[in-house]
Amino acid sequence: MQVKLFLFFIICFSLASLSNRALACFSITDDFNFPNPVLNAAFTIQPDVSPFTDCWTGAIRIRSDKNSWRLVANRNGPNPVSVSGDQSNNVKADDITLKLELKNFGMADPNGAVLVSPFPSQTDLSSIQSGTLIVSGIKRSGNSCSVNNQNFYKLTKTLCLFRDFVFNVGEYNGEVSYTLISP
């Protein structure tokens, strides 16, 4: 009888541990292009012969009820869609500057998340490859990941391209996707 009772408690403890991991609660709201929450930010670049800087901005709101979370990203592009000319004159990822800023809002701990190198300073889009770590989250933002929760970390993004005659004129598409992970 004692062995059966002991096994029952072990099974209950194991199920409780698994359910806690399964209930990891994260939410990302990305308003880079769309008003609705998405995990992907699509971008379209159309350089022309006018020399000026073209920038796109957006923000991700990160809410987590777990400690030790990580924000990772994957990038596709910029891929030339309708361009002609020498391929060496196509827009490449290292032609696009990337600036990220991380701030806390509400009761989220100001030291609870940090940008990982090289993202604390301006870099270029080629810094994001497959599964690139961008933010290391040390503390949770609050007790809930509901989109109505006022406690969150905000990651502001600015992508810029200096448009000049060097680039082939046309359309280039790309996408950056984000994932929140936790141990």
Q: How far apart are CA 148 and CA 125, in angstroms?
A: 31
| pLDDT(44) > 90 | no
Amino acid (one-letter) located at 128: I
- Please tell me whether the overall predicted TM-score, pTM, comes out greater than 0.95 for this model: no
Strand, helix or coil for residue 63: strand
pLDDT of amino acid 4: 35
pLDDT of amino acid 7: 32
Rounded mean pLDDT of the chain? 77
Instruction: For the domain covering 26-181, report its CATH number.
Output: 2.60.120
**Model confidence at 174, in pLDDT bands (50, 70, 90)?**
confident
Measure the CA angle with vertex 7, ends 2 and 13; round to 5°: 130
| Mean pLDDT calculated for residue range 172-176 | 84
- What's the DSSP call for residue 168? P
pLDDT of amino acid 101: 95
In 3D space, the residue among 145, 151, 169, 175 whose CA is nearest the CA of residue 58 turns out to be 175
Q: How far apart are CA 90 and CA 81, in angstroms?
A: 10
Q: What are the residue boundaries of the structural domains of the chain, listed by start?
A: 26-181
CA-to-CA separations, 167 to 42, 46, 132, 133, in angstroms, rounded: 20, 10, 27, 30
Measure the CA angle with vertex 157, ends 151 and 162; round to 5°: 170
Render pLDDT for 97-118 as a digit per residue (tens, 0 to 9). Answer: 999 999 999 999 999 999 999 9
